[in-house]
Structure 1
Amino acid sequence: YAGFALSGLVGCSATHAVLVPIDVVKTRLQTDPGRYAGVVDGGRAILREEGPGALFLGAEATLAGYCWYGLTVYPGYEFWSRTLNGLLAPAAAAEFHAAVVLLAGALATVLACVGVCPAEALRIRVVADPARFAGLGLAGSARRVADDEGADAFYAGFRPLFIRQVIFGMVKFFFFDSLADAIFEAAPALADGAGGRLAVSLVAGLVAGTASSLVSQPADAVLSRINADRGDLGVAGAVEAIWGEGHVRGFYRGAGARCAWSGLVISGQFAIYDALKSLLSVAGPDLTLFLDVAL
């Protein structure tokens, strides 16, 4: 459990830290619709108008939230996968392997989301309204939200966040496992070397991250809108506001940035796992079984 917790913490924190600028642009596109023409224009405008530091707004909250996510999801997933498999006969466990993997991931997500939700609430507020939190730091920004909005503001977006993570995880597992199996079946020699396994993990992770991002994008848009409006809208109000701004397209504002972000995050985390597997003494197939990357 400690090994999976450590690998989860390292994988999540490292990849999320590197890709904070993409997350900032995505959040701005969602919370300030119409201001930027797209991902590239948004990035250039933020850099030009606010300086390089603006591309790292909310970085402290991002690291705090996803350190917690990696620290809890990995051992949680290990625990639930072992527990669920232990309840089934060997034949049934093999037959329902996919269902067990998905259910274990969903159960592990519950505890992880408890810590990620307040961090995401704070991150989105800092990105959407940087003047309000200028110079406060992580603790000071959290106190500002608590004083101005109440402690319950940190969990105003829990439902869309939980839905986002569960959907993302389910689609991610399906695409990664299916694509990796197909590649290894077509080219078995790739499984014999570390370089080949790493390449397969990167490709499968990129595709899985992109697909998962597209499917879970509406929930992410609702989460961003709730927190940008200080939790006043609620889920129904956020959905109505987004629909009024662009119908279905409104829910996919910033999808390009998020697809790039999530594809790179998952590919990076698979690469980190491949590098750490010797240290953890985990075989290649075990990585597929126990991996649950958070986005």
Structure 2
Amino acid sequence: MSAVHVPDFSARNYASFFAAGALCCTISHGAMTPIDVVKTRIQVDPAFKGLGIISGTRLVLTKESPAALLTGFGPTAVGYLAQGGAKFAGYEFWKKKTVELAGDQETAVKYRTAIYLGSAGIAEFFADVLLTPLEAVRIRLVSERGYANGLASGFTRMAREGGLRELYAGFLPILCKQVPYAWGQFTVNEFCHELVFRSMDEDTKRNLSRTSSLGISLGSGIVAGFAAAILSHPADTLLSQINKGHGPSGSMAYRLTVLAREAGFRGLFAGLGPRMIMTAGLVSSQFLMYGEIKRALNAPPGIEIHKD
């Protein structure tokens, strides 16, 4: 059984975790804006129904212009700057707390799946408080052409016309989307690393080259990205519908139930292919950048509770 070292992270360490998470998420999500635009159109625009990422991109270019592929870049960059910092720093914080609550190394390793899931879920909840209004603006800009010129005007219009209620209308579906996403992202990544390291002896692990370490992070991130996309996609589809104003009136839970029934299994997974490609790129690049930025900031590594 591997030892569990619980470091005493300082406020500066958590600030470094936040900065690394914020930068890796805003860079990766910002770069993926064109794919996300096409994915959202496939989910909410009848003209894009049944199209894939390549054919959908061609249709956007034909009907509009290359600039349309950057629609929503502002709220994407700002939203994921806040959300990414809170999520990554929160995961480090809650994993440390839950490992301490476990009491000893054997208990922590035995219940590591629950620790990963719980830490990711709690961190994502608080991160989504920051993300939800900006995600609502992004989806409105992408799905309703001409709604506003950018982040500031879109946020102002939505706040003026609907207030906090409209800005946070998607909070429940965004939780349903982002919490499973975080579960897949962090938990699957942890277990991919564990599987790789369990196949190595101690000397090999200690003497891993930089290239090998980056390769492990990249491969683990790709697998975790696929898992995150599959787990979160139905709620992602419903979130796009909610923010475009679809569905009946009533409580959010009722609206989600009706929309899910109307969409059916096939409809809930519309656009999954493009999103799997996008999410694999997002998650793998985030973990690579997160590690490199932490190293540049001299931040300590996170807690490992892998089973030997």
Task: Return the TM-score normalized by structure 1.
Answer: 0.88
Partner of 1:293: none
Matched residue, 1:65: 79
Give the Å deviation of 1:182: 2.2
Q: Offset of 1:85 from its aligned partner? A: 2.1
Q: Could you say which residue in structure 2 is the equivalent of 1:292?
A: none
Report the 3-state secondary structure (helix = DSSP H, G, I; strand = E; otherwise coil) of the residue aligned with 1:131.
Answer: coil
Query: Which whole-Å CA distance do the structure 2 matches of 1:232 and 1:197 have between them?
Result: 50
Secondary structure of the corresponding residue to residue 46 of structure 2: coil
Q: Could you tell me how far 1:139 is from its partner in structure 2?
A: 1.6
Aligned match of 2:132 in 103, 117, 125? 117
Say whether residues 1:48 and 2:66 are aligned partners.
no
Alignment partner for residue 156 of structure 1, among 160, 169, 177? 169
Which of 100, 114, 127 is equivalent to 1:86? 100
1:172 Cα deviation from its structure 2 partner: 2.5
Q: Does 1:248 align with 2:265?
A: yes
The equivalent of 1:219 in structure 2 is 235
Deviates more, 1:60-69 or 1:174-183: 174-183
Deviation at 1:243, TM superposition (A): 3.7
How far 1:169 sits from its partner (Å)? 1.6
1:206 — aligned with what?
222
Q: 2-side partners of 1:238 and 1:76: how far apart?
A: 28
Cα distance in structure 1, aligned partners of 2:214 and 2:304: 12
The SS at the match of 1:130 is coil
1:170 aligns with 2:170: no
Residue 254 of structure 2 is aligned with which of 236, 243, 259? 236
Rounded to whole Å, the distance in 2 between the matches of 1:195 and 1:180 is: 15
Given residue 262 of structure 2, which amino acid in structure 1 is its aligned partner?
A: G
Aligned residues: 285
Q: Take 1:46 and 1:217, find their aligned partners in 2: how far apart are those partners?
A: 22
Q: Once the two structures are aligned, what percentage of the paired residues are identical?
A: 32
Question: What is the match of residue 263 of structure 1?
Answer: 280
In the alignment, which residue of structure 2 is the partner of 1:273?
290
Relative distance call for 1:28 and 1:238 in structure 2 (3 A) is farther
8 Å CA contact 1:273, 1:287 repeated in 2 = no
| Amino acid paired to 1:63 | A
Maintained 8 Å contact 2:223/2:280: yes
- Distance in 2, Cα, partners of 1:276 & 1:287: 17
Cα shift at 1:164: 1.3
C-alpha deviation, 1:160, in angstroms: 1.2
Q: Do the aligned partners of residues 267 and 195 (structure 1) sit closer, same or farther apart at CA in structure 2, a change above 3 Å counting?
A: same
Question: Which structure 1 residue ranges, 5 or more long, are not aligned?
Answer: 290-295
Residues of 2 paired with 1:273 and 1:200: CA distance? 14
**2:118 corresponds to which letter in structure 1?**
L
| Change beyond 3 A, Cα 1:75–1:240 | same
Identify the match of residue 128 of structure 1 among 143, 159, 164. Answer: 143
Cα deviations by residue, 1:210-257 (Å, 9 ceiling, x for unpaired): 122012111111111000117865443344345435x21100111111
Is this contact kept in 1: 2:170–2:243, CA < 8 A? yes
Structure 2: runs of 5+ lacking an equivalent: 1-13
> How many angstroms apart in 1 are the aligned matches of 2:223 and 2:186?
11
Kindly state the Cα deviation for residue 100 of structure 1 after the two structures are TM-superposed. Answer: 1.5
Which of 76, 82, 86 matches 2:90?
A: 76
Q: Deviations over 1:100-133 (max 9, x none)?
A: 2221111111211001111111100000012121
CA distance in 1, matches of 2:217, 2:154: 38
| TM-score, length of structure 2 as denominator length | 0.85
Q: For 1:240, give the aligned amino acid.
A: V
- Deviation, structure 1 residue 34: 4.6
CA shift for structure 1 position 174:
3.1
Closer/same/farther in 2, CA of residues 124 and 252 from structure 1, 3 Å limit: same
Q: Secondary structure at the match of 2:48?
A: coil
SS in 2 for 1:85: helix
CA-CA distance at 1:28 after TM superposition: 0.6
Counterpart for residue 5 of structure 2 = none
- Name the CA distance, whole Å, in 1 between partners of 2:36 and 2:84: 18
